């Protein structure tokens, strides 16, 4: 074989420089080379490094590199085929911002690398992660007031009008139950025990205020630009930010993430918007809602009805058809039965027709409704709370201007790995088509998307076996398949259901209902009884359910559950000893602990 010529070495160097966006010629022992490599590592920028001291024909390669760079020392850095220089040149380019411009040639054309529209669970997660990865990021968050004028601060639904106030009001309700239970445990609570709505409201709102403040501080610390304005697309890379005074500011970006969430829906009936409220108003009401009609049977409806009743209010739920559509119906009906025993009234199947204001009398509103049988019914209440589902906030943000596809029947955005049909526009959180509408899901999807965009990650958000909990008076935690979905998907012959009632030890002394709590595991027979559905109705459902989601994600079988040692005395230990199958028809009732 003829000796390799100088031209051959030169073309080898040329190939290294052209093939790699960032090319470093280095020597493994050289501290300046290490410094440069550390800089690119810290910026999460992928590079190719040729260690000349560890390469065959290193001296020849170094001579060819020197001919191209005009310097024989190492390191020598090339970006997008252009020679940047050695260690000092690279550091200086980093300090001046030139390095980032070279790395992202497009970004200099735009104000930002990334604009996130919506500063809720998903938007904040994506914007902070992207900024941590060295990107120039802005997040727009704007709350359109409710029909009765309620508004709130930074952080989106979860913090202001969702998970946080809901769980805290549920906690207020649990404390009321604990006060009742405490008598049998020897506590002497003298005098009238009453709940004060205004005190609860103020303390919860103060806590939310502190969370709003923390989010602002976090954005400042992470160097994310927070813009309190409503974002609307103008064209591919441009939006306008409209503030509450109507002032419009144009902004441009290389990438966009839409994370605008959802808002409660109102029925198209007279008086709904004028006199009704939704969960967006409930948590900040100055005064107790009083006698309340909750319309709808979503988890939001049942949770709100549950805590309002436990706080001592007269509560009725108007249900159009089933409880908790999308959830296991056996569990949903058990929740309903328990709530009815707790004193909540159910009107079903029934839909509202009209809400009108009363000028005088004991209550403030009159509601006309129609039972499925055709019977007209009329009731008087102080508050009518609509919890009939939520609309994706995608109809007024200019998606038509940029061609982002939206499902016209529900306003949801179909995505492939959180990317919309327009490649530089992404979407996360509640607006996604067919994905669970939960805070941790939005957070995870946002953070993983940022890492894929800006840190060469290829980790996708896994939307399977996501645990969730409904915080009704009897809490319900679940993971994976409902019983009906499992039967529909795999056929009855392939499904075994193990189940049991549960009597929480702490319920025995106050003599609470013996067989209200219940659990079941749904197992796939052909896969060694792999557990594909987990359902638990009882105290602390969120805490009980969370850990089991790991088991389901990892493919745990019924035998794995049986091999688990329980923690005694707990409710969760029941999952280590389930023996009764539904198909056996044997009783699961518990006589006591
Ligand atoms: P959001 O958090 O809704 O944030 C979107 C933000 O974007 C909002 O601040 C909105 O005002 C803003 N925005 C909209 N359009 C624009 C625009 N054009 N320009 C600028 N800003 C805009 N999830 C759980 O995991 N656990 C629970 O216990 C739970 N309880 C809930 C209870 C209730 C009553 C409700 C309503 C929801 C609950 N959720 C719960 C769901 C959870 O709140 C949502 O899944 C989560 O907030 C979704 O996050 P997101 O980022 O998609 O949207
Ligand atoms: P859901 O789950 O869609 O629930 C909406 C509820 O409101 C449901 O019970 C509906 O009854 C009821 N509804 C809807 N429209 C009306 C009218 N016009 N009148 C009376 N009742 C009505 O909504 P959410 O947004 O709360 O939940 C979204 C997701 O969160 C859901 O997918 C779960 O996974 C968790 P229906 O059953 O349709 O008869």
Nearest bound ligand to CA 438? 1
- CA 120 to ligand 1 center in whole angstroms: 6
Domain ranges of the chain: 6-103, 112-264+391-454, 272-388, 468-584
- 590 or 238: which leads in pLDDT: 238
CATH 3.50.50.60 at 272-388, yes or no: yes
| C-beta 444 within 6 A of ligand 1 | no
Neighbours of 552 (CB within 10 A): 21
What predicted TM-score, i.e. pTM, was given to this entire model? 0.85
Query: Which of 115, 116, 120, 243 for mutating ligand 1's site (highest number of atoms within 8 Å of CB)?
Result: 120
Contact 72, 66 (CB under 8 A): yes
Closest CA to 299 of 255, 270, 331: 331
pLDDT in tens, 113-135: 999 999 999 999 999 999 999 99
| C-beta 437 within 6 A of ligand 2 | yes
pLDDT in tens, 20-43: 999 999 999 999 999 999 999 887
Q: Is cis: bond before 233, omega within 30 of 0?
A: no
pLDDT of residue 42: 80
Would the pLDDT of 593 be above 50? no
Using CA of residue 219, residue 221, residue 222, residue 227, what is the dihedral sign?
A: positive
Would the pLDDT of 591 be above 60? yes
For all residues of the chain together, what is the average pLDDT?
95
Would the pLDDT of 44 be above 90? no
Fold identical between 6-103 and 112-264+391-454?
Answer: no
Closest CA to 173 of 339, 308, 340, 344: 308
Give CATH for domain 468-584: 3.30.390.30
Contact 257, 417 (CB under 8 A): no
pLDDT of residue 339: 98
Give the mean pLDDT of 502-517.
97
- CA 212 to ligand 2 center in whole angstroms: 29
pLDDT of residue 3: 59
pLDDT of residue 2: 56
DSSP letter at 419 equals B
| C-beta 272 within 6 A of ligand 2 | no
pLDDT in tens, 299-317: 999 999 999 999 999 999 9
| C-beta 118 within 6 A of ligand 1 | yes
pLDDT in tens, 64-85: 999 999 999 999 999 988 899 9
- CA 457 to ligand 2 center in whole angstroms: 37
Query: Which of 150, 231, 277, 439 for mutating ligand 1's site (highest number of atoms within 8 Å of CB)?
Result: 439
pLDDT band at 157 (very low <50, low <70, confident <90, very high): very high
Name residue, tokens 């839909």.
351
Give the mean pLDDT of 273-284.
98
Would the pLDDT of 97 be above 80? no
Give the mean pLDDT of 404-432.
97
Residue 557, CB-side half-sphere exposure with 13 Å CA sphere: 7
Contact 158, 121 (CB under 8 A): yes
Residue 428 class from Cβ within 10 Å (0-12 exposed, 13-18 middle, 19+ buried)? Answer: buried
**Superfamily (CATH) of domain 6-103:** Glutaredoxin (3.40.30.10)
- CA 37 to ligand 1 center in whole angstroms: 41
| C-beta 156 within 6 A of ligand 1 | yes
| C-beta 170 within 6 A of ligand 1 | no
Using CA of residue 133, residue 137, residue 143, residue 144, what is the dihedral sign?
A: negative
As given in the structure block, the two tokens for residue 77 are 């850095």
| CATH class given for the domain over 112-264+391-454 | alpha beta
pLDDT band at 454 (very low <50, low <70, confident <90, very high): very high
- CA 326 to ligand 2 center in whole angstroms: 9
Neighbours of 492 (CB within 10 A): 10
| C-beta 326 within 6 A of ligand 2 | yes
pLDDT of residue 233: 98
| C-beta 437 within 6 A of ligand 1 | yes
Residues annotated as part of the active site: 568
Nearest bound ligand to CA 321? 2
């Amino acid at each position: 074989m003829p000796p390799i010529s100088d031209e051959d070495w030169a073309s080898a160097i040329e190939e290294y420089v052209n093939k790699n966006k960032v090319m470093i010629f280095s020597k493994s022992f050289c501290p300046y080379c290490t410094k440069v490599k550390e800089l690119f590592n810290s910026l999460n920028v992928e590079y190719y490094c040729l260690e000349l001291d560890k390469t065959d024909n290193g001296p020849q390669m170094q001579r060819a590199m020197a001919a191209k760079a005009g310097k024989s020392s190492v390191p020598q850095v090339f970006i997008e085929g252009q020679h940047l220089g050695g260690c000092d040149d690279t550091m200086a380019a980093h300090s001046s911002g030139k390095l980032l411009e070279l790395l992202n040639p497009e970004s200099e054309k735009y104000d930002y690398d990334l604009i996130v529209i919506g500063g809720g669970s998903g938007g904040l997660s994506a914007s902070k992660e992207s900024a941590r990865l060295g990107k120039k990021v802005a997040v727009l968050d704007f709350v359109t007031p409710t029909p009765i004028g309620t508004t709130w601060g930074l952080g989106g639904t979860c913090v202001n009008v969702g998970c946080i106030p809901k769980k805290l009001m549920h906690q207020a309700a649990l404390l009321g139950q604990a006060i009742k239970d405490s008598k049998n445990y020897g506590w002497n609570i003298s005098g009238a025990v009453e709940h004060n709505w205004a005190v609860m409201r103020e303390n919860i709102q103060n806590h939310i205020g502190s969370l709003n403040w923390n989010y602002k501080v976090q954005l400042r610390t992470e160097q994310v630009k927070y813009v309190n304005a409503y974002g609307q697309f103008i064209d591919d890379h441009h939006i306008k930010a409209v503030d509450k005074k109507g002032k419009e500011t144009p902004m441009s970006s290389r990438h966009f993430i839409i994370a605008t969430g959802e808002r409660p829906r109102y029925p198209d009936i007279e008086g709904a918007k004028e006199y009704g409220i939704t969960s967006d108003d409930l948590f900040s009401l100055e005064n107790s809602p009083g006698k309340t009609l909750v319309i709808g049977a979503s988890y939001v409806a049942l949770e709100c009805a549950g805590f309002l009743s436990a706080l001592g209010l007269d509560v009725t739920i108007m249900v159009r058809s089933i409880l908790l559509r999308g959830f296991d119906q056996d569990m949903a009906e058990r929740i309903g039965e328990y709530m009815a025993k707790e004193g909540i009234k159910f009107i079903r199947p029934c839909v509202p027709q009209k809400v009108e204001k009363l000028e005088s009398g004991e209550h403030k509103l009159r509601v006309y409704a129609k039972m499925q049988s055709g019977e007209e019914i009329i009731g008087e209440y102080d508050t009518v709370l609509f919890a009939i589902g939520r609309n994706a906030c995608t109809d007024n943000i200019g998606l038509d201007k940029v061609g982002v596809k939206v499902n016209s029947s529900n306003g949801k955005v179909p995505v492939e790995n959180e990317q919309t049909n327009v490649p530089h526009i992404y979407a996360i959180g509640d607006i996604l088509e067919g994905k669970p509408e939960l805070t941790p899901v939005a957070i995870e999807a946002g953070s993983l998307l940022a890492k894929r965009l800006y840190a060469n990650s290829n980790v996708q958000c896994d939307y399977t076996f996501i645990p969730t909990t409904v915080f009704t008076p009897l809490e319900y935690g679940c993971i994976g398949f409902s019983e009906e979905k499992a039967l529909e998907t795999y056929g009855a012959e392939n499904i075994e259901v193990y189940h049991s009632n549960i009597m929480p030890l702490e319920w025995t002394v106050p003599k609470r209902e013996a067989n209200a709590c219940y659990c079941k595991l749904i197992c796939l027979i052909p896969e060694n009884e792999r557990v594909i559905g987990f359902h638990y109705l009882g105290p602390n459902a969120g805490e009980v359910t969370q850990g089991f989601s790991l088991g389901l994600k990892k493919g745990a079988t019924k035998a794995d559950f049986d091999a688990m040692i329980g923690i005694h005395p707990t409710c969760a230990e029941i999952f280590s000893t389930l023996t009764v199958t539904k198909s056996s028809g044997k009783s699961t009732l518990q006589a006591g602990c």
